[in-house]
Amino acid sequence: MTLHLELRDAIEARYGDALQGPVELHQDAIRLRLGNGVEMEVRFAAEDAYSIRWTSGRDELCIDTAPRPDLQPALPSHLHDHRGQVRPDPITRPGLAPIENLSSLINALLISPTLEGRGH
């Protein structure tokens, strides 16, 4: 829970002008809305255990670190893209500070909510 408090505060400080309202703190997640219509739900259990889901219009996407036997173990994080495909994660890197991974993703989503052109 402390990590989510820290993430909320950091996101509001870094992206205040790009947010539609305050970041919502829930029991095991934070939720936020970007000015371009992207809605995100963020869950971090640790630097290498997370799930970040977002919607943009009718598109639903997710980056997470849940184990997948169909992906190489060297690629612990993966993207569930807007076409329903599971691909290597082009944005986050397990082990980095959660705020750095989340900031990298927010920066990318402000440019392209479906991550078009980002390694897939």
CA distances from 113 to 14, 25, 27, 42 (A): 18, 22, 26, 15
Q: How many Cα atoms occupy the beta-carbon half-sphere of 100 within 13 Å?
A: 9
How far does Cα 120 stand from its chain's mean position?
A: 17
Residue 34 near residue 42, CB atoms below 8 Å: no
Can you give the pTM of this predicted structure? 0.92
Tokens of 73: 């173990």
Closest CA to 64 of 50, 84, 44, 83: 50
Q: Does the CA dihedral 49-118-100-102 come out positive or negative?
A: negative
- Chain segment 40-98, per-residue pLDDT in tens: 999 999 999 999 999 999 999 999 998 876 666 656 899 999 999 988 899 999 999 99
